């Protein structure tokens, strides 16, 4: 065999492979995309899109391509055509020829994209416009001629599938789902992991202007008449979960006016009183001024005043405990419904965080060990946030791979702006506060106090300081943690090491221990000896 050290071509190839892997890992650690060039020679595995949904709605025709875990899929591609198929339903009852042409052109392009991507798992659905229009069946036949297989959902099916999307995004949710589209408003009651009632009402954003033109009283009477068909919604306890782009635009307006700390409306919550005040302002708003707000398009702005007027009527009739924005709806409900029961029961937050952080250097097993190692010291018996703390720990591990000067900004953006399922805004703030503390900045952020209380954020900073201590002890390895223990003993925070690991008792470790103890209002001590059993 030739000597490998003197095999110049082999050495060059080995160096290129190592360099490719190093560069790919650096890109991932910084949250940057990995280019195809970085994936050659097995340097890193690319996430391949493998399923798609085509949603032929009354306002838009949309293609969404997904990749990643089944329980918490990533959006790989999101394309839409604003065809407004249902714009004349109230006047003529038919799909306009121009809208049909625009939709078919978009669908032809979508079908070609899917063929080029090699994606065969495609769910194509059509809703109110295709269902209600006099020429809807003819339009669907033209869609089939493109090579797609659309399923025209009944009104009840549309309500049920949208409800599945909400249940997927909010495990354990109970309340009423209100999915507002261009042609219809779907209402569904959810509780105990199931949809119990569902109805579709002709109150879509493209139909509301015709009702509004009859005058305020006629508008109210018409809306109330339709809502009376869902009297069960007034009897269902819980929040009103709002699904659809128009409701998200309403949330963007509310967040903008309140100078809210984050921009993602997923899980944004309003009290009924707050929602009514916002809706009252929007009812009289000029749509042209609304487009000045980020995330409010001209098409959404046009429908917002009418939708806001309807929302006020819904609030008075249903009296929900709160209003919650759901970014998941019909498209995600289609995917969620296909999962087996075991997959549905997976925690979407931990599934997504694990998928996101693993290629960035985190490890779920080590994160679990770290969370267990710190639990008694930082939380004592005040548990209840274990899943959030575990997610924060994995994100802390991933953040440690980022360059120090980028770490704080990148990691807090992950917590606050990346869309996480199964996480409310209190949880977002706690994870962000933990990440700040793990970067050496435990001081509470005033803006976060708008999403979480002082006690919750103080605990989250303790999580971060404890994770920082773990990282300092032998780089947070399994062996270093198993050879040590952190305990509260009366007014002291005691870090004990096995005799075989006494060499880990460095000044830098004691410094981090002191920082954590000070934050918890305790004295600190570091010693060799058997740990006191956790309480």
Domain of 231: which CATH number?
A: 3.30.420.150
Tell me, yes or no, whether 534 lies in a domain: no
pLDDT digits (tens, 9 = 90+) for 4-63: 333 334 334 433 444 454 454 444 444 444 444 334 444 456 789 999 999 999 999 999
Domain of 438: which CATH number?
A: 1.10.3210.10
For residues 420 and 352, is the Cβ–Cβ distance under 8 A? yes
Place of tokens 């548990």: 383
Tell me, yes or no, whether 224 lies in a domain: yes
- Give the residue among 447, 416, 160 at the shortest CA–CA distance from 267: 416
pLDDT digits (tens, 9 = 90+) for 224-282: 999 999 999 999 999 999 999 999 999 999 999 999 999 999 999 999 999 999 999 99
For residues 217 and 153, is the Cβ–Cβ distance under 8 A? no
3-class SS of residue 485: strand
The answer on 180 and 264 residing in a single domain is yes
The answer on 283 and 361 residing in a single domain is no
What's the mean pLDDT in 54-75?
Answer: 97
pLDDT at res. 219: 96
The answer on 112 and 29 residing in a single domain is no
The answer on 148 and 161 residing in a single domain is no
Tell me, yes or no, whether 533 lies in a domain: no
Distance between CA atoms of 159 and 174, rounded to whole angstroms?
Answer: 15
The answer on 137 and 16 residing in a single domain is no
The answer on 193 and 119 residing in a single domain is no
Listed in order, strand segments (DSSP E) in 181-295 are 185-191, 194-201, 240-243, 269-270
The answer on 312 and 191 residing in a single domain is yes
Tell me, yes or no, whether 264 lies in a domain: yes
The answer on 332 and 390 residing in a single domain is no
pLDDT at res. 35: 42
pLDDT at res. 531: 55
Q: How many domains does the chain have?
A: 4
Q: Count H helices and E strands in the chain, helices first.
A: 22, 14
DSSP string, 4-55: GGG-HHHHHHHHHHHHHHHHHHHHHHTTPPPPGGGGGGGSSPPPPP-EEEEE
According to DSSP, residue 533 is labeled P
DSSP string, 431-451: HHHHHHHHTT--SPPGGGGGT
pLDDT digits (tens, 9 = 90+) for 357-400: 999 999 999 999 999 999 988 876 555 689 999 999 999 999 99
What's the mean pLDDT in 155-172?
Answer: 97
Q: What residues are paired with 175 via a beta bridge?
A: 190
Q: How far is CA 506 from CA 495, 511, 514, in A?
A: 12, 9, 13
Tell me, yes or no, whether 163 lies in a domain: yes
Q: What residues are paired with 124 via a beta bridge?
A: 54, 150
Final residue before a domain boundary, out of 107, 137, 152: 152
The answer on 72 and 171 residing in a single domain is no
Distance between CA atoms of 231 and 238, rounded to whole angstroms?
Answer: 15
Tell me, yes or no, whether 408 lies in a domain: yes
Domain holding 78, by residue range, is: 51-152
- Give the residue among 244, 240, 239, 207 at the shortest CA–CA distance from 226: 207
The answer on 415 and 401 residing in a single domain is yes
The answer on 402 and 307 residing in a single domain is no
Tell me, yes or no, whether 376 lies in a domain: yes
Question: Is it the case that residue 298 has pLDDT exceeding 50?
Answer: yes
Final residue before a domain boundary, out of 99, 122, 152: 152
- Token pair recorded at residue 74: 């990533």
- Give the residue among 51, 49, 48, 47 at the shortest CA–CA distance from 338: 51
Question: Is it the case that residue 2 has pLDDT exceeding 60?
Answer: no
Final residue before a domain boundary, out of 272, 304, 337: 337
Tell me, yes or no, whether 446 lies in a domain: yes
For residues 318 and 310, is the Cβ–Cβ distance under 8 A? no
pLDDT at res. 379: 74
Domain of 115: which CATH number?
A: 3.30.420.40
The answer on 185 and 127 residing in a single domain is no
According to DSSP, residue 484 is labeled E
């Amino acid at each position: 065999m030739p000597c490998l050290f003197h095999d110049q071509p082999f050495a060059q190839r080995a160096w290129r492979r190592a360099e490719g892997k190093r560069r790919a890992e650096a890109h991932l650690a910084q949250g940057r995309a990995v280019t195809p060039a970085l994936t050659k020679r097995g340097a890193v595995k690319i996430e391949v899109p493998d399923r798609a949904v085509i949603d032929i709605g009354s306002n838009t025709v949309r293609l969404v391509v997904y990749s990643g875990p089944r329980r918490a899929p990533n959006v790989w591609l999101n394309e839409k055509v604003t065809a407004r198929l249902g714009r004349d339903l109230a006047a003529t009852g038919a799909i306009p020829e121009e809208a049909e042409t625009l939709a078919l052109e978009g669908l032809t392009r979508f079908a070609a994209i899917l063929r080029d991507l090699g994606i065969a798992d495609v769910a194509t659905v059509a809703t109110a416009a295709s269902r209600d229009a006099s020429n809807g069946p003819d339009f669907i036949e033209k869609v089939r001629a493109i090579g797609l297989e659309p399923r025209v959902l009944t009104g009840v099916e549309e309500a049920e599938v949208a409800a599945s999307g909400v249940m997927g995004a909010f495990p354990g949710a109970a309340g009423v789902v209100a999915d507002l589209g261009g042609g219809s408003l779907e209402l569904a009651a959810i509780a105990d992991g199931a949809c119990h009632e569902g109805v579709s009402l002709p109150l879509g954003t493209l139909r509301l202007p015709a009702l509004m033109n009859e005058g305020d009283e006629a508008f109210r009477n018409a809306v109330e008449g339709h809502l009376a068909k869902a009297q069960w919604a007034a009897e269902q306890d819980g929040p009103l979960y709002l699904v659809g782009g128009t409701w998200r635009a309403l949330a963007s307006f509310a967040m903008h006016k309140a100078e809210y700390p984050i921009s993602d409306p997923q899980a944004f919550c309003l009290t009924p009183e707050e929602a009514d005040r916002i809706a009252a302002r929007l009812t009289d708003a000029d749509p042209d001024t609304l487009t000045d707000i980020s995330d409010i398009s001209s098409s959404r702005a046009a429908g917002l005043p009418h939708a806001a007027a309807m929302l006020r009527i819904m609030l008075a009739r249903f009296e929900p405990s709160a209003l919650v924005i759901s970014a998941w709806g019909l498209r995600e409900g289609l995917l969620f419904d296909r999962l087996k029961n075991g997959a549905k029961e997976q925690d979407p937050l931990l599934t997504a965080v694990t998928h996101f952080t693993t290629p960035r250097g985190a490890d779920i097993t080590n994160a679990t060990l770290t969370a267990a190692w710190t639990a008694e010291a930082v939380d004592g018996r005040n548990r209840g946030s274990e899943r959030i703390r575990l997610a924060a720990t994995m994100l802390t591990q991933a953040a440690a791979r980022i360059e120090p000067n980028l770490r704080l900004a990148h990691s807090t953006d992950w917590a606050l702006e990346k869309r996480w399922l199964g996480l409310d805004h209190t949880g977002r703030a706690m994870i962000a506060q933990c990440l700040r503390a793990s970067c050496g900045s435990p001081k509470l952020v005033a803006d976060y106090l708008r999403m979480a209380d002082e006690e919750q954020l103080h605990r989250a900073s303790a999580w971060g300081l404890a994770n920082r201590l773990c990282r300092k002890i032998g780089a947070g390895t399994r062996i270093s943690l198993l050879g040590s223990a952190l305990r509260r003993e009366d007014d002291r925070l005691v870090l004990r090491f096995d005799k075989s690991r006494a060499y880990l008792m460095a000044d830098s470790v004691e410094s981090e221990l002191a920082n954590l103890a000070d934050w918890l209002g305790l004295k600190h001590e570091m010693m060799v000896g058997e740990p006191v059993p956790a309480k």
